[in-house]
Structure formats: structure tokens, C-alpha cells
Chains A and B, each alone.
With several copies, the nearest count.
Chain A
Amino acid sequence: MAKTHPYIPNSDESAIRQMLSEIGLQSIAELFEDIPAAIRSKADLPVPSKMTELETRRHVEGLLAKNLSTRDVLSFLGAGVWSHHVPAAIDAIITRGEFLTSYTPYQPEISQGMLQAMFEYQSLICELTGMDYANSSLYDWSTALGEAARMAARVTGRYEFLFPKFIHPERLATLRTFCDPVDIKLVEVTQDKRSGSVDVSDLKNKLSSRTAGFYLEYPSFLGFVEQAVDEIEAAVHQVGSLFVAGCEPISLGALKPPSDFNTDIVVGEGQPLGSHMNYGGPLLGIFACRGETLLRQMPGRIIGKTTTQDGKRDAYCMALQTREQHIRREKATSNICTNEALLALAASMYLSLLGPKGMSEVCSAILDRTRYAIDSLRKLPGVVAPAFDAFHFMEFTVNFDKTGKKVSEINDGLLKAGIQGGLDLSSYFPELGQAALYCFTEVHTHRDIDMLADKLRMILEA
């Protein structure tokens, strides 16, 4: 009885006895006798005893209650994971057992649902980015960037990869762990402290026949949007290296798609497309490229459209598996196996529900809030918003140097008033002074922003 378990149908004595006897055994212990005594565990696992479902729920919900979510406090954090409205239809569908409890569609005939959905995801990402091919997901933007740098090196046979100064620091850190071991050298390109623009002359100086690729975030980590993309792209392609863009996908509802800048590889974070923030994970790495040559070097799973063998019906299956680890092993384009399919499904639903008009709608809502927030915050004494003189989308840097207060103090004050302030940038980019990255999306109302401005004023005047 002690063992019988609601999730383990054969865990009662009678089932165990019967099954053992059918295969000529006396006890389960016999099945573990091949484990040498020296390493066979003597004691129970040092974890707690089982709890009932009710006890577990009460316990875990008790712990979770200690968290304050964006429904409890007003939050203006973005910086790589963003608060958006997730249409309710998405969660209703992705929790369906058929999707939720399936795996990589190794048997396509019985897995057409997910295969078609992933084919649609790839197609939707290509529509959004303008690229030719997309894979069916990587882990997150940062690992997608790591893969992109490696792919650029594979394709070009070159081993320098350039990035702009104001890159997301965690993405840069991840890029390092993907590049260092294979000796891809990372080179920083200056960005103008006033406008944020890439210093094109510095870029040109650093571009060479050793350059595998240059990476640009669009919009940038700090929310400003590079204007000289054409010029940058020309310089990059001039030396025969690849142009890699990192995109926040919502912005592409209103901003030129990377394909318009002859981008070779696009990476990005798909979380804003219908997935929750979940304290930072799971996330959805977007990866797309142009042209067949790059396609063959693309990491990750790709789904193709085909027909049944009798040619009568459309069907879907995995394609180009020879790039993947389960076939190509150490020569694979990546080691990825489990990916982020369920989040890709959510993204497909999001893009379908919104469509072209909805994407434009959410972009205009974001721009409306961005503009309103800039107008509100710049009026505060000593506050510079945005700190960069450029067009911003959704996020911008607020500088507090002239207020004589540190971001950490200000954020403490805000938190007491039920507001989570912007990300403190002072340790990431000390040259920006006491600056914070604020994010405004369609989830914020003008009243929310007024409330932020009011509280900030109180703190700054205190």
C-alpha cells in the first residue's frame, strides 16, 4: 500500500506480483541486482515525503503568493522579456493534451497537427521578417545569437564576429560562451553616446576579410532604432561578411523587416508573441535566414511540406534532418534536440489572431505609450528621457544624473509605492551614468504612466 501511487498504474502489490510472475521473477529487487552493491543506494532519497495534490497545491501556492506579479504591481521592465497581453485563446489551445503531451514528430503520419502548426510557424516568421527560411525554434534569443555567430563562421570560414557596444549584456555573455570554445573572436563596435548610432567609421575599421559577421539589434537593447542600417549593411557585405539582425518581433509590425536591409540571418526573442514572461523562461529563440546556402547551415529543426506517398494529400514532415544531431552527430549544425515548439505554436496563434492589422495596432499602442511616457518623464526635474537622441520603440533610457539620486534609490522608492521601475543600467553601462531602461507596452494605460510620473516626482522631490 505504501507504494501505490495515483500516477503509476502498476504500483500496487497485486499488479507487481502478477507482472513479476509472468516474467519469472520474485521481486522488483532482482531487476536492480545488476547495480553493484557499492553504488546501490542504501538510504531513502533525502527529499520530503510525498504530499497529496491538495497539500501540494496549498503549499506551492503559498510560496507563489510571496511573489508580486505584474498584476500586483505596475511594472516597467522590459529588457529582453516583455509584458504583453496574451490573448486567452492561446492558452486554451496550447494546453490541449494532443499538443502539450506530444514530442518531436518522429512519426509524421500520426503527428500532422504539430507538423502543420510548425510549418505555419516557420511561414509566419518568414512573413514577419521577410526572410526565406525559419527553423521551428531555438531556446531563446541569446542562444540563437550564439548559433548565428557560429553559423556565420561556418559559412564564411572566418573567425571574427562584430557586435555593437549597447548590446543586451546577457546576450553578449551567452554569445561569448558560444564563440570562445571555437575561437571566434568577438569585437565590439562603438555606438555614439548621443544618438546610439553605430559608429560606422569604427565599424569599417574593424570589418575585414577576417570578419564572419556583424550583429545589429533592431530596435537596439536600449530601445533606439538604428537609422543607418543601409549604410551599415553595405559596409558589412562589402567585405563579404554576413549581416545578422537581432529583432524584437512585435516591432516588425511597424518597422521595416530585416529583409529590406539584405539581412542574412535574423535572430530574436519570440516570447512577446503570445507567451508569458514566466520569470524569464521558457523562451522562444527565433532564427531565420535567406538563401539556400545559409539554409543548409541552419541549426534546429525544420518542417517541410510534402505529400503522401500516393501523392493524394498534402502532408508535413521533418526536412533537412541531415543537419541535425540525431543523424549527423558531431558534424551537426547544432546539438539542439528538445526545442521550444509549444511557444512556437503560441507565436503562430498570436500572429494569426493579430494579423497585419493587429500587429500594426499593437505597434501603434506601444508607440502611443512610448511617446506619452517620454513626454511625461522628461518633464520631471533633472530627468533626461530618452537619454539617446533617436527614434525609440517601446523602451528608452532614462537618465537621473542631474537628480542627484541613484537608480537603486529611486527604484526602492517606487517599489514602496507599488511600482517596479526600469532596469538599472548603471552596472551594465557605467558610461551612461545613473540610467534605467523603461519599457512601455499596450498593457500600460496613460493613467499607469501618470502614476509612474507622479511617484517619480514625489521621490525626486523628497
Chain B
Amino acid sequence: MVFAQARWDEPLIIQLSRVGKIGFHESHSYDRTVLDLIPSRLRRKQPPSLPEVSEIEVVRHYTRLSQQNFGVDLGIYPLGSCTMKYNPKICDAIAASHKIQELHPYQDERTAQGILQILYEASDFLTKIVGMDKITLQPAAGAHGEYTGVLLMRAYHLDRGEKSRDEVIVPDSAHGTNPASAAMAGYKVVEVPSNSEGCVDKEALKSAVGPRTVGLMITNPNTLGIFERDILEIAKIVHDAGGLLYYDGANLNAIMGKAKPGDMGFDIVHINLHKTFATPHGGGGPGAGPVGVTRRLADYLPVPIVEFDGSKYYLDYNRSKSIGKVRAFHGSAAVVLRAYVYMLLHGKEGLQTVSEVAVLNANYMAQKLRKIKGFSLPFGEGAPRKHEFVLSASLLAKETGVSALQVGKRLLDFGVHPPTIYFPMIVEEAMMTEPTETVSKQELDKMIQAFERISEEAYAKSDQPATSPHATTVTRIDEARANRPKTMQLTWRSTNPTS
């Protein structure tokens, strides 16, 4: 395997600046003395020190930088919990139309019937996929959906006069956004441990719930990729205590058409459209985190909701029990549009195939990787996983000193992206791996071979893993330096940009 990532030694854009260059057209059509109209106490005296560069320089700079970045379009990217799948190009192509790009959120609804119908139908499809009754498309991401969901729980309890509920329960394997979202809503976070099968410990849960319980936030399959079989029981425990059950939809890719959170007893579900429904992750975002709820929570959803009166689609702001707004306007329409296109392209058969093959790929890989020397699959070696699994490199670390981190760095040398490492925290030297359904067997086999090779290197005491990566744009990075107050540089203003 020969891989080398591009290296361009590209300076900062500000370092390409030279006074006098421009990257825009000056217009001849008016007179610039209008700037003098600005009252002097408001007028900017020094123009901002932005780069002065021409268009070609901007295009070259970012084209070069892009080559120094890894994406799904380049290779396997099995970041567990992130569902880094291939997104059909037609989704982006359709979203490039001015018929979506150049729509204003406040334009007359009569001139937005197309997008409103799309939002309405997407709401309908998503609601059905998760088995909920009503949905809001507004949240901008999963975590934002979580916060919205916790606010819905809060509204529900307050509406029932249950003011003393102030504890949100999360499993110890939960994603960091779950406790963070609960805390944002002013709630205390109560952690429940996992049992030996990696699932929620029902006894611990029973003793955790009570009159202070707001609800339980979990994902199913859980972060270990294991389906919580006892979910109905768990739901009952929570519901009996007067709490609500929140479904973190990050793992929805495992169960579409196979099981619905609604049927499992969940009251609230967020869906990460960028994970399951094909918005490319964009280097970190944008995404979208619609939140579906059962009937009893529907009244609390944020405004507006897209409705249809039999002849036209409209935005319904008239919802007196609504929690209000969690962001401006009506949500990320361009993201929802992509998800809508994705759902049409797949259809009921395709969405089910997505989950089936995502699970097949994960289990294929899990079974192959766990047999490689130094690796293991904690919490039930043989038990089926869903769309992801958490490998442990703890034996390897113990026996050879090569940690999960080093395995990850060494994987980079093979032109693949490593799994998520050191999460969930309940697995030592965790490598949380989610191949997704869009990876071919050939790519899976290549990744497996890379693990084999790294294991061999580790046991052969090669210094390759410890000194890796070698093939990337830069070699191992000094992350500590970026965090030490004395060396920290968070903008080019705190550095010497011309150096």
C-alpha cells in the first residue's frame, strides 16, 4: 500500500496578502462618497486587516488545503457514532438550485409552496421511520436536538406541575452531548453504569429513578453497538417513575425498517440528518437534528411547525404550549431537502437495506478484527453488534506498548481514517468502529489488513506505530503546545503571521 497525502507547505492566506491586490470587481455604477454619510463616531477608521489577494490565489490556497484534508470521498472513514457514509451526489446537485438557495425565510408562503411541501413530506417520512407522532425540523444538529428534547421534557413536567423533577439519567457509555444537553437545561446528570453485557444495568436504573427523574437519555443500539434488548423494561422503569424516555438518534442507521424507537417506548427522538440521511458533514457541519415526539409531547414542540390545510402548506406559529424557539427561522431547509432526496432515492426497501448492510459490514469487520492479535471485542465477543462495535486495543497496549492512539495514527499511513478512539469510556483503549453501509467488502478487507499489519509491527517491536503517521501532510502533532498558555496561538494575530 502506497499512500502519501498531498503536502503543499501552504502559508496562511494572510501571508499571501500584498497591498493593492483585489479579489472582487469594483463597480462603476455609483459614487463612494456615501461612506461619508456614516456619522464619524460610527465610522471605521482603519479598514479590517483582511488579506489582499486575487481570486486565483484564494482558489489555489483552498484547493491546496483541501488536498490536505481527508473525507469520505477519499476513503473509508469509520468514525464510530458519526456515521460517515457516502452521500449521493444528486442530493447536493438538487440543493444547488436557486429555487432553494435563494429563498428567504420570510417570503410569502404562497411563493414557497414547493419547499414547504418538501419540509412537510420529510417530516412525515421521518416521523414514520422513528415511529413518533409529530416532529420539529428546526434543530441545527444532534446536540441541538437533544437540548430541544430536554426542553420538551421540562415543558411536559412543568405543565403537569411537577417542578421538583431535576435529574436526567444517562448511561455511563453516553455521548458527551447527552449530559451536556441535560446540564444546559439546568438539570443534574445522574450516570447509570453498564452491566457486563454492555447494556443499561436495570437494577442500577431502578435505584436511580424516582420523583426527581426528568427522564432517561439513551441510544439504542447503544454506543457499544449492542441492542438494548430490555428496552421495554427500561422504558417501563422510567415511565413508572414518571420520567420520559429520550432516544439519541445518532445510531438510527442501525435499525431503519427493523425497529422503531416509538415501538420501544421512547417519547422523544432526535435524528441526525447528517449521519443517517446524507448531508455531507462539511468538515464539522452543517447538519440537522429534527426531534420527533409522541402525541403527549406534541404541543410543546418549538414553533413553527409545517402544516397542510388540504390545499396549501403553511407555517404554524399558533401553538400556545410551545417551548418557543430554539433558533431563528424554520430550520436548515437545505439540509432537510438533501435528506428528503435521500429518502426518495432509497425508498422503504433501500432504507432497510441501509441498516441491514451497515450491520452486516460492522459484524463482518468486528469478527475479523477481534481475532487479530492484541485486539478484543469486550462485552460479548460473539454477540452480534449493530452498525458499530467497540474494539479494545488494551492487550496490544499491555503487551507491546502500542496504544489505541498509536494504532489510529498508524492507520493514517494506509490512507484510511481510524475509528473513534477512547470513547466510550467504559472500554479500555477503545476503538469505536462504524464502517457504514457505503463501504465495499474490498475496502473493509483493506482496513482489516492494515490492522493485521499494525499488530505484526507492534509485536515485532517495529517503531512504525510509535513514530507514525509518516504519510500524512504533517507528522505527529504537538497538541500540548496548542493548549499551553505560553505557546497557545488561536488566531494569526497572536502569532507573527509573516514568519
Most-contacted residue by chain B among A110, A128, A307 (CB, 10 A): A110
A205 beta carbon closer than 8 Å to chain B: no
Residue among B154, B232, B286, B363 making CB contact with A23, cutoff 8 Å: B363
CB distance from A237 to the nearest CB of B (A): 18
Closest residue on chain A to residue B425 by CB atoms: A329
Query: Per-residue CB proximity of B23-54 to A under 8 Å, as 1/0?
Result: 11111111110110111011111011111111
Instruction: Report B377-393 CB contacts with A as 1/0, cut-off 8 Å.
Output: 00000011010000000
Is B179 an interface residue when CB atoms closer than 8 A count as contact? yes
**Cross-chain contact B106 with A67 (CB below 8 angstroms):** no
B283 to A279, Cβ gap below 8 A? no
Chain A residue, CB-CB nearest to B352: A45
A99 touches B282 (CB 8 A): yes
Contact (Cβ within 8 A) A282 B73: no
Task: Name the residue of chain B whose CB is nearest to the CB of A50.
Answer: B347
Residues of A within 8 A of B69 (CB): 98-99, 102, 110-114
Stretch at the interface among B394-402, B457-465, B491-499: B491-499
Are the C-beta atoms of B259 and A116 separated by less than 8 Å?
Answer: no
A83 CB contacts on chain B under 8 angstroms: 102, 104
Contact-residue size bin, chain B (C-beta under 8 Å from the other chain): 35 or more
* B56 interface residue (CB < 8 Å to A): yes
B115 at the interface (CB under 8 A from A): yes
CB within 8 A of A306: which of B70, B98, B341, B489?
B489
Is A462 close to B, CB under 8 A?
A: no
User: Contact between A354 and B24 (Cβ–Cβ < 8 Å)?
Assistant: yes
Residue among A57, A68, A168, A423 having the largest count of chain B Cβ atoms under 10 Å: A68
Query: Which segment of A196-204, A252-260, A381-389 sits at the interface?
Result: A252-260
Whether A454 sits at the interface, judged by CB under 8 Å, is: no
Residue B431 is within 8 A (CB to CB) of chain A in the complex? no
* A451 in contact (CB, < 8 A): no
Q: Are B34 and A278 in contact (CB under 8 A)?
A: no
Cβ-defined partner of A48 (8 Å) among B26, B66, B347, B476: B347
Closest B residue, CB atoms, query A103: B281
Question: Quick one: which of A31, A321, A349 contacts B384, CB cutoff 8 A?
Answer: A31
B451 at the interface (CB under 8 A from A): no
In contact, A282 and B286 (Cβ under 8 angstroms) = yes
Nearest CB of chain A from residue B252's CB, rounded to whole Å: 12
**Given A256-B43, A330-B189, A355-B50, A338-B24 contact (CB < 8 Å):** no
Q: Is the CB of A38 within 8 A of B232?
A: yes
Q: How far is the CB of A43 from chain B (nearest CB, A)?
A: 9
CA distance A287 to B347 in the complex (A): 40
Q: Which B residues touch A401, using CB under 8 A?
A: none
| CB nearest neighbor in B for A120 | B13
CB pairs A–B below 8 angstroms (17 shown): A10-B440, A22-B367, A30-B384, A50-B349, A87-B89, A88-B92, A126-B493, A140-B327, A181-B185, A277-B103, A280-B332, A281-B334, A318-B479, A325-B177, A326-B176, A335-B184, A339-B284
Contact indicator per residue, chain A 320-336, by CB within 8 Å of chain B (1) or not (0): 11001111111110111
Q: Are A100 and B490 interface neighbours, CB within 8 A?
A: no
Restricting to B262-306, which residues have a CB under 8 Å from any CB of A?
Answer: 263-264, 272, 274, 280-289, 302
Tell me the smallest distance from the CB of B289 to a CB of chain A, in Å. 8
Q: Which of A101, A143, A311, A326 has the most CB of B within 10 A?
A: A101
> Does the CB pair A45–B129 fall under 8 Å?
yes
Q: How far is the CB of A253 from chain B (nearest CB, A)?
A: 7
Tell me if A360 and B482 are in contact (CB < 8 A): no
Can you name the residue of chain B whose Cβ is closest to the Cβ of A339? B285
| A385 to B267 alpha-carbon distance, docked (Å) | 50
B67 with A304: CB separation less than 8 A: no
In the assembly, what is the distance between CA of A368 and CA of B302, in Å? 39
Q: Is the CB of A331 within 8 A of B332?
A: no
A362 CA to B104 CA, complexed, in Å = 20
| A42→B214 CA distance, assembly (Å) | 32
Contact indicator A60/B437 (Cβ below 8 Å): no
In the bound complex, what is the Cα–Cα distance between A317 and B259 (angstroms)? Answer: 39
Task: List chain B residues, Cβ under 8 A from A320.
Answer: 483
> B204 within 8 Å of A by Cβ?
no
Distance in angstroms from A368 CB to nearest chain B CB is 4
Asked if B47 and A357 sit within 8 Å, CB to CB, the answer is yes
Nearest A residue to B63 by beta-carbon distance?
Answer: A97
Chain B proximity of A348: nearest CB distance (Å):
7
Q: Chain B residues with Cβ under 8 A from A430's Cβ?
A: none
Please, how many angstroms separate the alpha-carbon atoms of A89 and B409 in the complex? 31
Min Cβ gap B365→A in Å is: 9
Question: A9: which of B57, B70, B71, B176 is its contact (CB, 8 Å)?
Answer: B57
Choose, from A131-139, A187-195, A206-214, the stretch at the interface.
A131-139
Residues of A within 8 A of B423 (CB): 326
A residues less than 8 Å from B63 (CB atoms) = 93, 96-98
Q: Are A133 and B491 in contact (CB under 8 A)?
A: yes
Q: Are B38 and A254 in contact (CB-based, < 8 A)?
A: yes
Check if B211 is an interface residue, CB within 8 A of chain A.
no
How far is A245 from B245 in the complex, measured between Cα atoms in Å? 38
Closest Cβ of chain A to B77, distance in Å, is 7
Q: A98-B67, A281-B334, A355-B51 are in contact. List 17 more A-B contacts (CB 8 A).
A: A9-B441, A14-B20, A50-B345, A87-B89, A103-B284, A120-B14, A123-B14, A130-B48, A133-B490, A140-B140, A278-B333, A280-B331, A306-B482, A357-B24, A357-B26, A357-B47, A415-B111
* Known contacts A277-B104, A341-B285, A367-B35; A353 and B326 CB within 8 A of each other: no
**Docked complex: A342-373 residues within 8 A CB-CB of B:** 342-343, 345, 348-349, 351-365, 367-368, 371
Tell me if B99 and A69 are in contact (CB < 8 A): yes
A230 CA to B41 CA, complexed, in Å:
9
Shortest Cβ gap from A443 to chain B (Å): 10
